[in-house]
């Protein structure tokens, strides 16, 4: 990671808020959220159009999803975080280990052909594998912000590549519960069930 963007936690957010500093100087969370939504929608169509037989769902692909989706807004788009982060009772991968953990996860994902070989079997097995790797990336929480949306975009691209529609993750509260189980107990059962239900041809 370039040292230029080694921001610490306190330099990311406008003091006293959960609003990240951004290139447009937006200080209103609703406006920012709407804009992020627009950028994400655009990204879905851009990255969908770019899918080819040669697409590798590797670490640089994940980083490019984050960077290209949000670089108009955030300096740190596509950069891994260097500091520790937690949400509620959950502690994500320690900042010092994000890079090496990411390498480990993506090596494993490459070993199974970025899930392509699971598609031929059945969607049950495919859902299970997506949940396993998605759980790993949820626990990694590699970026400063927008992890949830980029992790889901990443697996939606894998789903689309394999002839499925984008995954319907259902209720956000259920997704958070499933994420908590992944991060705190390495338990991907809830997430598997959500993905199994949300995966459609």
Ligand X SMILES: Nc1ncnc2c1ncn2[C@@H]1O[C@H](COP(=O)(O)OP(=O)(O)OP(=O)(O)O)[C@@H](O)[C@H]1O
C-beta of 144: minimal distance to ligand X in Å?
A: 8
- Told to check if 180 binds ligand X by CB under 6 A, we report yes
Concatenated DSSP letters of 165-201: PPP----HHHHHHHHHHHHHH---HHHHHHHHHH---
Does 147 contact ligand X by CB under 6 A? yes
Beta strands 90-91; 86-87: pairing state: antiparallel
Segment 78 to 97, residues that bind ligand X, using CB under 6 A: 87-88, 90
Query: Which of 116/148 has CB closer to ligand X?
Result: 148
Instruction: Name which of residues 90 to 129 contact ligand X (CB under 6 A).
Output: 90
Cβ atoms of 197 and 170 closer than 8 Å: yes
Q: Give 19 or 180: the residue with its C-beta nearer to ligand X.
A: 180
Asked if residue 37 binds ligand X (CB under 6 A), the reply is no
Tell me which stretch binds ligand X (CB under 6 A): 16-24, 45-53, 99-107, 143-151.
Answer: 143-151
Cα 17–23–27 angle (5° rounding)? 30
**Judged by CB under 6 A, which of 102, 119, 179, 188 binds ligand X?**
179
CA gap 131, 191 in Å, rounded:
6
146: left (phi over 0), alpha (psi -120 to 50) or beta: left
d(CA 142, CA 164): 26
Kindly tell me which of 109 and 138 has the beta carbon lying closer to ligand X. 138
Report the interface residues with ligand X, using CB under 6 A.
87-88, 90, 138, 145-149, 176, 179-180, 183
């Amino acid at each position: 990671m370039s040292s230029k963007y080694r921001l610490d936690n306190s330099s990311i957010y406008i003091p006293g808020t959960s609003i990240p500093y951004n290139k447009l100087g937006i200080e209103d969370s609703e406006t920012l959220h709407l804009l992020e939504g627009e950028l994400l929608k655009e990204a879905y169509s851009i990255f969908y159009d770019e899918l080819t037989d040669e697409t590798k769902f590797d670490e640089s692909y994940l980083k490019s999803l984050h960077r290209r989706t949000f670089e108009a807004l955030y300096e740190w788009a596509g950069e891994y975080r260097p500091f520790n982060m937690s949400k509620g009772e959950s502690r994500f991968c320690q900042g010092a280990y994000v890079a090496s953990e990411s390498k480990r996860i993506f090596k494993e994902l490459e070993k199974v052909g970025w899930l392509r070989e699971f598609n031929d079997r059945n969607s049950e097995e495919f859902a299970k594998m997506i949940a396993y790797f998605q759980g790993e990336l949820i626990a990694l929480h590699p970026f400063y912000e927008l992890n949830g949306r980029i992790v889901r975009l990443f697996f939606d691209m894998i789903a689309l590549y394999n002839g499925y529609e984008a995954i319907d993750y259902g209720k956000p509260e259920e997704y958070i519960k499933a994420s908590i189980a992944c991060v705190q107990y390495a338990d991907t059962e809830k997430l598997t069930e959500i993905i199994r239900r949300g995966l459609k041809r």
